[in-house]
């Protein structure tokens, strides 16, 4: 199974804990604010804002919180001003890591992200060093035991998805970011339950990590990056064998 799926699944399982600490809401509010600032407060005319609102609703964010974040983004209410930054680097074993962050202090955030890389056997690289290895797509993941590939393919392609991939015990539906919400809605309307649905960065190549110590370092680095208050998402192209993944992430 490709690295993005493995890390996304681990991150998905951590989400309940993160939600308890309020981290999920904080990150979603920042995304809504930035999306509204860049593309306006009308979700019908702003696909990024529409996706951000859908993600917030999926986490049961109260409607008033969403509306307040939109107004802060458009300037109707006073609020913090965040800028988007991307950091790129390598984890142990040559694993490529792409970090998306939102910050009100660029230098502080980059310094702290660099520190996380260095303390965990990685190194922060120059802009562009790994971004070319990733491609932005919509990703909807289904448990293989629930639906057949044919069932998923029929709905996915009719709704405008690009592909359906067999990934071991899961199927992945891949979409263009612009078509993600309509494909997701097609599954929702048919009552087809998915394990995860998000717009993500998918690695075009993966790096096999079979050394237990390196695998542990890679996962620790990813967890610490995503735990950072300013980091929205972290992506990596590792491919850790399932048995090793279970033992080091237990």
Are residues 49 and 152 located together in one domain of the fold? no
Instruction: Tell me the CA distances in angstroms from 66 to 52, 100, 112, one per residue in order.
Output: 9, 21, 29
Average pLDDT over residues 210-239: 93
Are residues 10 and 70 located together in one domain of the fold? yes
Are residues 186 and 211 located together in one domain of the fold? no
Reply yes or no on whether the pLDDT at 6 is more than 80: no
Domain annotation covers residue 186? yes
Confirm if 142 and 173 have CB atoms less than 8 A apart. yes
Q: How many domains does the chain have?
A: 3
Are residues 116 and 223 located together in one domain of the fold? yes
| Both structure tokens of 134 | 């990733």
User: What pLDDT sits at residue 72?
Assistant: 95
pTM value is 0.85
At 136-149, the pLDDT tens digits run: 999 999 999 999 99
Burial status of residue 193 (CB atoms within 10 A of its CB: 0-12, 13-18, 19 or more): exposed
At 24-69, the pLDDT tens digits run: 889 999 999 999 999 999 999 999 999 999 999 988 899 999 999 9
User: What pLDDT sits at residue 9?
Assistant: 63
CATH number at residue 23: 1.10.10.200
Instruction: Tell me the CA distances in angstroms from 20 to 16, 17, 59, 182, 219, one per residue in order.
Output: 7, 5, 11, 30, 22
User: What pLDDT sits at residue 23?
Assistant: 80
Are residues 128 and 221 located together in one domain of the fold? yes
CATH number at residue 185: 3.30.70.980
The domain of 20 spans 3-74
Are residues 126 and 213 located together in one domain of the fold? yes
pLDDT band at 121 (very low <50, low <70, confident <90, very high): very high
Residue showing tokens 């458009």: 74
pLDDT band at 182 (very low <50, low <70, confident <90, very high): very high
User: What pLDDT sits at residue 155?
Assistant: 95
Are residues 211 and 121 located together in one domain of the fold? yes
Confirm if 213 and 113 have CB atoms less than 8 A apart. no
User: What pLDDT sits at residue 4?
Assistant: 54
Are residues 199 and 234 located together in one domain of the fold? no
């Amino acid at each position: 199974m490709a690295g993005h799926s493995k890390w996304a699944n681990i991150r998905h399982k951590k989400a309940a804990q993160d939600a308890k600490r309020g981290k999920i809401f904080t990150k979603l509010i920042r995304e809504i604010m930035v999306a509204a600032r860049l593309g306006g407060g009308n979700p019908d005319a702003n696909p990024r804002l529409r996706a951000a609102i859908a993600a917030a609703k999926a986490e049961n964010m109260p409607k008033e919180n969403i509306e307040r974040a939109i107004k802060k983004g458009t300037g109707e209410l006073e609020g913090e001003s965040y800028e988007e930054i991307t950091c790129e680097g390598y984890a142990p074993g040559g694993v490529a890591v792409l970090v998306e962050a939102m910050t009100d202090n660029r230098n502080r955030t980059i310094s702290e992200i660099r520190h996380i890389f260095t303390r965990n056997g990685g190194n922060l690289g120059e802009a562009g060093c790994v971004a070319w290895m990733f491609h932005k797509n919509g990703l909807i993941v289904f448990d293989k035991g629930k639906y057949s590939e044919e069932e998923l393919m029929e709905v996915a392609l009719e709704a405008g998805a690009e592909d359906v991939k067999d990934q071991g015990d899961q199927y992945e539906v891949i979409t263009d970011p612009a078509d993600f919400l309509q494909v997701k809605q097609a599954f929702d309307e048919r009552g087809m339950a998915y394990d995860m649905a998000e717009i993500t960065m998918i690695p075009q190549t993966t790096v096999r990590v079979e050394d237990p110590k390196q695998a542990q370092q890679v996962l620790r680095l990813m967890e610490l990056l995503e735990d950072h208050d300013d980091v929205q998402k972290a992506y990596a192209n590792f491919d850790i064998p399932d048995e090793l993944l279970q033992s080091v992430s237990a």
